[in-house]
Structure 1
Amino acid sequence: MPKRGKRYQESAKLIDRTAQYGTEEALKLVVDAAKAKFDETVEAHIKLGVDSRHADQQVRGAIVLPHGTGKTRKVLVFAKGEKVKEAENAGADYVGAEDMVQKIQKENWFDFDVVVATPDMMGLVGRLGRVLGPKGLMPNPKSGTVTFEVEKAVKEIKAGKVEYRLDKTNIIHVPIGKVSFGAEKLIENFKTLMDAIIKAKPAAAKGQYLKSITVTSTMGPGVKVNPTKVMD
């Protein structure tokens, strides 16, 4: 195990690694333990009692966090006709069609964080499946990124919409803000996220749904949240 820095060791003293904390106490500890010289991102890591290999046990969706994430995300929109202007007016960073496909394929260009596409563009965007898919950038109706409501989609992403989805180990990793938000705003963002994940519980999921939850800042130690007290 790599030797941790002095700051990390000081922070770790604040936290009992064997304990599970209530939501409010956990996020206060994360804020107190963040000692880096930059504004650290706070993330939630949620392990679910489902099997992501089965289609009927997938957990995926998107939620607008009440206080955003503290990060401005660059949005690429695939659209044509009047939807191009709509995307530009809504604040999209890049809008295009075949030209954007070429740029990504030929220049290995990925200067964007989210891709939105109108349904009639998905045949074109599908050609990028091999490169966008592994990066988690492929537009998807479940996350609201395949839609004719381009203005709404772009504005929500800019306002702090985050997507949540299971990885191969049945864990969801989601940023819930910055340390500078303070505990109160982080708690509200976290509870909004957890409410969405609880509501997204698949009917096929058996046994304990929320297996374990950890909240952590970029450089700080992880703090375990008691899954039974998440919404308290």
Structure 2
Amino acid sequence: MSNLKDLNQTYSSMRLVALAAVGLAIVTMVVSGGLVFHAYGVVGQRVYVVGNGGSTAMALAESPEDHTEYEMRNLVRTFALNMFGHDQYTFKNNLNTALPLIDDMGGRLLYDGFKKGAVLDNYIKFGARTTASVDSIVLDTNTLPVKGRLYIRQKAFIGDRQSKSMPMGMSFELTNTHRSNFNPFGLMITRFNYIPYNPEASEKEKRILQAQKDRDDAQLQQAKVEAEEAQKEAAQ
């Protein structure tokens, strides 16, 4: 009985290692589609949380000069960090901050891609989270409406494990809108779409992922050895 118990424990260890790898792969695929699950209700009903630094002024910008390039970049950065980075606890609030900054068409484009991944369910199931970092924001302020491109990297985490960063490129235009508590910038992201972006992983990320792979390989090898020893003991 003791040998069988040891064997079961060994197989359980191997299964946990495998499940962790599968779980991370699932979350990584989910992240590729983006992150919304509850977003349909948010986009349709437009129920938002007032963000910090909001303005109650209802002034309609009359010319591009009413918006500084800093303000434009801040809008895009706020959108990107909230739309593509959260966990099960911050998911809804982050979307409530991001969605007022993009038009309905763009919001639904994101939603349709994200819904397929059941993101919130995976957050809860795997205890996962995602982070986003902005590589660059490129703006052409000589055009009207202003055209831009956004380049970010997104990572998924399960416990202390992380996925390879997923680069995403996006094109968009910025159009004038009313300032409000929900959108204090007086600008809105429109004509949103994904574009190719394939940068090299940083050396730091490569080292982290290699160390993680070495650790996983060692754990799997140890689990195999323990399984073989348990089998031999059970056969005696």
Q: Indicate whether the TM-score tops 0.5.
A: no
Q: Which has the higher contact order (CA 8 A, sep 6+)?
A: 1
TM-score range, shorter chain: under 0.3
